[in-house]
Amino acid sequence: MRARRKVALFVTGGCAVAAVLSGAGVLVVSGAGAEPAASSSVSADRNTAPVTTTDLVDTTTFPGSLGYGSPVGVPGTAPGTITWLPEPGAEISRDEPVYAVDERPVRAMHGSVPLWRTLARGVEGTDVRQLNENLAALGYDVSVDDVFGPRTERAVRQWQHDRGYEETGSLTSSDIVFLAGDVRVDSVVGALGQAPSGDVLTVTGSERVVVTSVTPRRSEQLPVGSAVQVRVNGAGALIDGTVTDAVPGTAKDGGAVVDVTVGFDPGDRKLPSTATAQVIAPGARADDALTVPVPALVAGDDGGYAVDVLRRDGTVDRIAVEIGLVAAGRVAVTGDVADGDRVVVP
């Protein structure tokens, strides 16, 4: 059985008022009198609402912002002189130039493991699998495995031939850079005429996301992969979303936070470049619960809770109830009430 929440009962202005104390806040409940009668007549214009059976879901709203996510650096590792850089806001897809050194484009490939060695015949590993996956996605004949074998070498030579590169059959940092996916240039760090040193660009994902910074404890409500909803201010109704990333960060006051990224599909909806937003995460739920509006709760005779049920003859019966989950302005109740009953709402 659900544990009863604590109740503080006091009298003000001739009415009994009960405050339901919970971890989420205080739910104020009012009664028609300190000692109400079990049954009384009522005027026909009394406000009422139906008792309904529905699913209740408690939600938590987190403030966030619309953008492209947190930028990450792209290190410049190709030897030589930078001769071309993209503009901020440019989008870079697989096999497109990221930057150029000595007029030779360094092209983007998708992968989470950075290029840390020369990829040539005979080497094996996750970075080789990434290369094979990219070559296959570009239409070259390779085995998608961890081995740089004869088929991979032939595919690399063909890729180099198609782009006017020397056909060495191997790849270095002068040829490619692995990025997490299609990206958008957030800022340009490198400078033309200089050798690459450190990051040459910072990039974000190419799709709009909402980012919210929460405390480590609250981040437990937003695990990666969980379904949430987002509201972009000024952009209409809620949009379904999914938590795609959660990384530790630092708040302005130096405290620890977790930066949670939510991806979503806006469809045909036009969104502003930047905007404030909210992330709405589901919490506790009660399925097929008998519910009444929160304002319908009144203080019961025993210090508990009750509702005033309006009968067809115009009389009102005060019925004791046990309360459960409170969400979306309604509260789950158990007691001698039924779906379709009408309860008085002060």
- Structure-token pair, residue 174: 């002068």
Q: What's the count of helices (H) and strands (E) in the chain, helices before strands?
A: 2, 24
pLDDT in tens, the chain (346 residues): 333 443 333 333 333 334 443 433 445 555 444 344 444 444 445 799 999 999 999 999 999 999 998 899 999 999 999 999 999 999 999 999 999 999 999 999 999 999 999 999 999 999 999 999 999 999 999 999 999 999 999 999 999 999 999 999 999 999 999 999 999 999 999 999 999 989 999 999 999 999 999 999 999 999 999 999 999 998 889 999 999 999 998 888 889 999 999 999 998 888 887 899 999 999 888 999 999 999 999 998 888 999 999 999 999 999 999 999 999 899 999 999 999 999 999 8
Distance, CA of 89 to CA of 220 (rounded, Å): 33
Report whether 184 contacts 89 (CB < 8 A). yes
- Structure-token pair, residue 297: 């709760």
pLDDT (0 to 100) of residue 324: 95
Residues 44-81 as b or e (16 or more Cβ within 10 Å = b)? eeeebbebeeeebeeeeebebebbbbbbeebbbbbeee
Distance, CA of 27 to CA of 36 (rounded, Å): 21
Report whether 307 contacts 321 (CB < 8 A). yes
- Residue tagged 């989008």 (tokens): 91
Domains of the chain, each with CATH number or no CATH: 6-58+285-344 (2.40.420.20), 61-68+207-284 (2.40.30.170), 72-205 (1.10.101.10)
Amino acid at 39: S
Amino acid at 326: V
CB count in 10 Å sphere of residue 285: 13
pLDDT (0 to 100) of residue 20: 44
Listed residue (316, 321, 315) closest to 302, CA to CA: 321
Distance, CA of 255 to CA of 260 (rounded, Å): 16
Return the CA Rg of the chain. Answer: 31
Listed residue (102, 84, 83, 103) closest to 92, CA to CA: 84
Amino acid at 88: P
Distance, CA of 296 to CA of 335 (rounded, Å): 14
Amino acid at 115: L
Query: To which H or E segment does residue 169 belong?
Result: none
pTM, two decimal places: 0.68
pLDDT (0 to 100) of residue 272: 86
DSSP percent split of the chain into helix, strand, coil, nearest 5: 10, 50, 40
CB count in 10 Å sphere of residue 298: 25
CB count in 10 Å sphere of residue 312: 6
